[in-house]
Amino acid sequence: MNPLLANWTTAFEIAPFDAISDDDFAPGFETALAEAEAEIAAIANAPAPPTFANTIEALEASGKALDQVLSVFFTLAGADSNPKRLELQRKFSPKLAAHSSSIYGNKALFGRIKTLWDARDTLDITDEQQRVLMLTHRSFRRAGANLTGAQDIRMRAVMSRLADLGTEFTQNLLADEAGWYMELSETDLVGLPDFLVSAARSAGAEKGLKNPVITLSRSLITPFLQFSPRRDLREKAFTAWKARGANAGDTDNRPIAAEILALRHERATLLGYESFADFKLETEMAKTPGAVRKLLMDVWEPAKAQAGRDAEILTKVMHQDGINGDLEPWDWHYYAAKRRLAEHDFDEAALKPYLSLDQMIKAVFSCAHRLFGLEFTPLEIPLYHPDCRAWEVTRDGRHMAIFIGDYFARASKRSGAWCSAMRGQARFPRVQAPVVINVCNFAKGDPALLSYDDARTLFHEFGHALHQMLSNVTYESISGTSVARDFVELPSQLFEHWLEVPEVLREFAVHSETGAPMPSELLEKALSAANFDMGFQTVEYVASALVDLTFHEGAALADPMVLQSEILASLGMPPAITMRHATPHFAHVFSGDGYSSGYYSYMWSEVMDADAFASFVKASGPFDAARAAALEANILSTGGSRDAEELYLAFCGKLPGVEALLRGRGLSW
């Protein structure tokens, strides 16, 4: 029996990773895909008139074997790839696109759904079921279920090609990131803090090298740019970082991005929309490209002004070092760190020994316990990589979820950090608790020490995990993070605020060697410097969001790199700052449709998270029990069972403006 297709009898029905081999994926996929296709055919061709049970609930219950296979495969493909898995991903991608097209293009199936939708006011179903019916009908309509003839055929071809291109974009980026490293001699290590030297030695050892190396892992390259006094090496590292996906040859993502943009525009026009942005934003809280642009521009101008003032100061500091000329992108982190040390007497290297990974994991667990009563018990079970760790999540003795943490960078893992559910919460067709994974790319060390940004990432991704763990709906299609894209970042960004709570840092930010708590003076400096360099951070983010939005507002140009340059020039992009994600490595936007026209969503959610955390502070404080209960009842447990705006209003009573965000980032004056 293929272990991917078996009924898993492991503890908590976790995937039996120790019994699964790469050779199981292809036959398991083909068998599960055939089963899913047969299930869809049976629903579409059922002789009985359509009902919610025999159509909508039948769809909810279909494809479970395929979901089981793919949950394992895509977990491994993202976090622990190898040549075999990359090859399988390329083979599976067009078949999955064709399967999706066959579902949404099934006229008989859509006819049954439309019959129920047209009769929705007469159906005896719950509010949650009405929501699922609406979302199902909408997803079919937006996938082109109303298309016929040549348009229908073309839509299927477009979607298949987009799936291929997204996979190729991802794999090219992974290849560029895995293939580059910079060896350092002992003299190159001068000036680097101990934690970075240790991480670089670990990275070199992982590659079988005697010398320490800097890779394109953000947890290595960012501190290198902060601390290395060698301007030539900083330039070399930054140039490689910026060039990901833009190296001529087989891994060049620039023509792929151009084709993706053209196909997305064609997809939107086939469905009757003026642009892909109009199509994509229809289902989000923002609704229109104009609303998104207004938010971004309201933040852009004060952020650019602050960045300009900061650039002048950093340039003077650089000139004092005897380096004439202009401040360059590979200079900013280094001189910003020097400035922070001078102005705030705050050194990131002094902070890191107090931010060990193990202690920060304890901190997020403690906050989850105080807010929501969750408890975390370590599990010794087979997982997909030795670096992974697992915990059972309970509340009042009741099993709530399994949480898996995969925290360290490696060449087989794509960059960034993410949260995914190998199994989502549901009560139909059977009760199932979620299996949630947080994947990060922290530098390995003994012990592993985090930067403040790393610690914020840990809290951020755990906020997504809470959204999955505390979900309490009937249908998996609307559970957990299955919400509007510009709402999904609210729980994650909101949870970041608890890292800044002084009592949390006092308890858990202890020295990795001595166990001594962080000195109150250092704690105060860390908190006072939290908004340091926020002009830079905001500019690099908003520039990326505006490029993404503009790319999708009209017909695609043959060369998106030209349009990217034109957009940045029109914005007056500061020359010493680059986009956080330039087009060739903008995986959020080009690896799939998830954040296309939607990279703005982090900032849209930040407008709400600043307001939401303020509601805790205005009550009895960050751990106010009533506000925590309201957050769980109205946001974390509800998934997509209600409209996002309705959920936020139920939690906070009003929609916030951009002022709270600007105050929170220190950009209002």
Please give the positions annotated as active site: 461
Sorted by sequence, the CB contacts under 8 Å of residue 47 that are 6+ apart come out as none
Q: Which amino acid is it at 226?
A: Q
> E strands of 325-434, at which residues?
375-379, 389-395, 398-408, 418-423
Q: Is 141 exposed, middle or buried (0-12, 13-18, 19+ CB in 10 A)?
A: middle
Provide the H-helix boundaries in 399-484.
452-469
- List phi, psi (to 5°) of 492: -70, -45
Sign, Cα dihedral of 354, 355, 358, 360: positive
The Cα 449–Cα 512 span in angstroms is 8
Task: Give the torsion through C-alpha atoms of 363, 367, 368, 374, to 10 deg.
Answer: 90
What is the DSSP-derived secondary structure letter of residue 437? E
Contact predicate 256/169, CB 8 Å: yes
Residue 339 to residues 345, 351, 668, Cα–Cα distance (Å): 9, 16, 21
Report how far residue 333's alpha carbon sits from residue 340's, in angstroms, rounded to the nearest whole number.
Answer: 10
Whole-number Å distance between alpha carbons of 666 and 290: 25
The two three-digit tokens of residue 567, written as one number: 């957009």
Three-class secondary structure of residue 389 per DSSP: strand
Which tokens hold the place of 228? 């290395």
Cα separation, 511 vs 233, in Å, equals 31
Look at phi and psi of residue 431 and say left if phi exceeds 0, alpha if psi is from -120 to 50, else beta: beta
